[in-house]
Chain A
Amino acid sequence: MRIPCPICGNRDSREFDYMGHALTLDRPAPDAGLGAWDDYLHNRENPAGPTRDLWFHGLGCGAWLVVSRDTVTHEVFGAELARDVTGGRA
């Protein structure tokens, strides 16, 4: 699998660490309640198909990426910096 790092270009997936679905960017408020936190940390759509998940370019530039890809075909559609996704939202 190749991940198109916005900083480094197309790189072998062996340079990256994976950390699950990109909903982890949507950290609930401290007082959002147990249900919200349970959903945030544990419960997943776990789609069979297109998804967005978090990859860390640890053996590269050190950027956290949001990668769009397909969990069935392993096709990678693109990647953006997590910083931009979170920053754009704030």
Chain B
Amino acid sequence: MRFSGLRVLKEGLTGNRGWRPHWRDPAPKSDYDIVIIGGGGHGLSTAYYLAKEHGLANVAVLEKGYIGGGNVGRNTTIVRANYNLPGNSEFYSHSLKLWEGLEQDLNYNVMMSQRGVLNLCHSDGQRDAFARRANAMINQGDDAELLDREGVRRLVPYLDFDNVRFPIYGGLLHRRGGTARHDAVAWGYARGADSRGVDIIQNCEVTGIDIENGQVRGVQTSRGAIRAKKVALVVAGRSSQVAAMAGMRLPIESHILQAFVTEGLKPVIDNVVTFGMGHFYISQSDKGGLVFGGDLDFYASYAARGNLPMAEHVMEAAMTLMPMIGKARVLRSWGGIMDMSPDGSPIIDRTDVAGLYLNCGWCYGGFKAVPGAGHCLAHLIAQDRPHPAAEKLRLDRFRTGHGLMDEEGTGAQHNLH
């Protein structure tokens, strides 16, 4: 079924009786060409691009709960391509290009809204570092503007320019960045993959990975064994546990990132604004809620919930930067489980097991990577060579030291990125 305004109109006039499931609930087959472990944003988009770009539809996506129940449904919905370092630059640029036009590609309104991402800087040194990053973005072919203080004031006059603890020197504006409706991204990819023949199997937990002579043969699941020629691990938040089924120990530590949303308010914040000195970022959803977050809770955790110290710190940052939102009330908080890698950058790579592929380490950048990661992982699985936009996202870079992508410059401590 093709979605359109006309279809909504027609259904509305006929009692909305014609709507059909957005995706099927098939029983798992005993054999697939490719099994993708994990029905999150990345897993679903991988399946979609396998089917769409490579004609590989004998694919199953195995999800232990409900699709989109992990980080794709627990984030602050920000989409951007404003990275400094090679590897990240070309990858996120590639992903952003896929975002642009995703609605039309998927025939699903994921509400990608290019409302601009503004990073604020608070010293000459930060401004110069932003200039370097902005120039890297333009060198990559993406957009970037360096705003001075007055430029920032014109864009976001509601900040506290006079009293903020770390004065606003300027900002890096990335107009093509913005937000998208996170759940819809998962659903749209699921519907697209399903309609091309991919089996999306929910409530199917993988309990083992079958490997013979260094070659993957399939998986054991809570719904029986499934044979597969190729298997991809796309399980952010559980990467270490699933990789352990294949005997691997990953350079990953799991951490909590909290996020918050307020009650609905009339439009007041138009862009995505980030406050580097306070680890605070905010946007306003189409429903009117202010969606914001900050830094990790700092301790390794799988609890999908945070504690007060970081929650308070985030609100404190809000109060110094934009005390205009003081009377907004926080309605709900949640936590996502982040795959923190040693350099804060992701991994899309083969493993030492033939036919076993790995997608992990997205830290808190996974949402904006959904199209790009799926596209590149599908390429790697289908062609067994990396996509040019993802060839630097190697697993062995930590051991060799080649091509580390430590954007924050904080070194090999997982929780500092």
Contacts and interface: CB of A to CB of B under 8 A. Distances in A.
A and B touch in the complex (CB under 8 A): yes
Contact of A38 (B252, B253, B303, B399): B399
Interface string A33-55: 01100110111111110010101
Contacts of A84: none
Contacts of B299: 1, 13, 18, 53, 55
Interface residues of B, number: 26
Given A20-B253, A20-B414, A48-B241, A41 B398 contact: yes
Query: Ordered nearest first, which 5 A-B pairs have the shortest CB separation?
Result: A46-B240, A14-B309, A42-B251, A38-B399, A42-B398
B12 to A, nearest CB: 46
Contacts of A46: 240, 250, 252-254, 300
B249 A53 contact: no
18 contacts: A12-B309, A13-B309, A14-B308, A18-B298, A18-B300, A20-B253, A21-B300, A34-B399, A41-B412, A42-B398, A42-B399, A45-B240, A46-B240, A48-B254, A53-B299, A53-B300, A55-B299, A73-B303
Q: Interface SS of chain A: helix, strand, loop or mixed?
A: mixed
A34 B301 CA distance: 28
A19 B413 CA distance: 7
B271 interface: no
Contacts of B108: none
A49 to B, nearest CB: 8
A72 interface: yes
Interface string B302-328: 110001110000000000000000000
Nearest to B342: A42
A83 to B, nearest CB: 20
B415 interface: yes
A27 interface: no
A48 to B, nearest CB: 5
A71 interface: yes
Contact of B300 (A12, A35, A51): A51
Contacts of A48: 238, 240-241, 254, 302
